[in-house]
Every structure is written in C-alpha cells, then in structure tokens.
Amino acid sequence: MVPAFKKSHNAALSKERKYFNTKLAKVWTKSEHCIGLVKARFQRVRELRPVISSKRDLAVLLQMIMCACILHNLLIDHVIPEDWLEEQAEIEDDDEELEQHDNERANRRNQVLYYMMEMH
C-alpha cells in the first residue's frame, strides 16, 4: 500500500514529496469517482431511509447496497450523464493520529517515489 506523505508540524514537504502527493491525488480521484458513480446512478444509497432497529433491518440495507454495487459493475460500460454527477467532495481531515510507520512499509513508498523520479 502506498499512502501520501504527511506534513509534519514544523516543516513543509520537500519538492519531490509534493510531486508524489499530487500524482497520488490524481489517482485518488479515480476511486472517488467510482463511489460517485454508484451514488449517482442509484440515488437511494445516497441516503438510507429505513430505521435500523434490528439485525434484519441492517441485513436488508446491506443487501440493497450490495445490489447497487453489482449493478454498477454490470453497467460499467454505459456512461452516466454528466448532470447526474454532482460534487460530493468529502473533506478528509488529518486529525487521526496513525503514525505507526514500519520501516519496511515506509521503504516501499520511498521505492515508488525514487522510481517515479527516475521516470520523470
């Protein structure tokens, strides 16, 4: 897995790292896009009306979402009209403290970065 570099509290990101992050952000838009498509075509999953009062209710809901996903995959070649898609920018905040960087894992990201720099 390759996550973005995080800004530390006192120092700005170096130029290479910024470059890496912008590249990464471009790929993210793809995955955001995928979820956007599901929610655009199947409006029901944008907001779930039923009240969850038992396990069964939840199971029914999840089945419905799963159906929407399956249909999305089946209908992948059929383009969704532009005006169905609306900006649903999810603001992701960084207050989660998950600084458990294993060396091996951080290495992996650096490897990808170096590779990209060479290609660039």
Partner 1 sequence: MLYDGMYMTDDEFLSNFRIDRACIHQLTELIKDDEVFIKCWGKRDKQPVVLHIMVFLRYLGSYGNEASLQKIGLVMGMSKGAINDCVIRVSQAILKLQKKVIRRPDEEERKQIGSRIKQTHGFVNCVGLIDGTLFHLAFAPTLNLEDYFMRKGNYAIKALFVCDDTAKITLVEIGWPGSMHDNRVWLNSDVYLAKKCISATKSTCLVIRHSWRLW
Q: Does residue 90 belong to the site contacting partner 1 (CB under 8 A)?
A: yes
Q: Does residue 87 belong to the site contacting partner 1 (CB under 8 A)?
A: no
As measured in angstroms, the least distance from the Cβ of 44 to partner 1 is 5
Six-digit token pair at 33? 């896009």
As measured in angstroms, the least distance from the Cβ of 76 to partner 1 is 5
Q: What single-letter amino acid sits at 105?
A: R
Q: Does residue 2 belong to the site contacting partner 1 (CB under 8 A)?
A: yes
What's the maximum distance between 2 C-alpha atoms anywhere in the chain?
A: 56
d(CA 119, CA 23): 13
d(CA 7, CA 51): 41
Which residues in 29-58 contact partner 1 (CB under 8 A)?
30-35, 37-38, 41-55, 57-58
Q: Does residue 64 belong to the site contacting partner 1 (CB under 8 A)?
A: yes
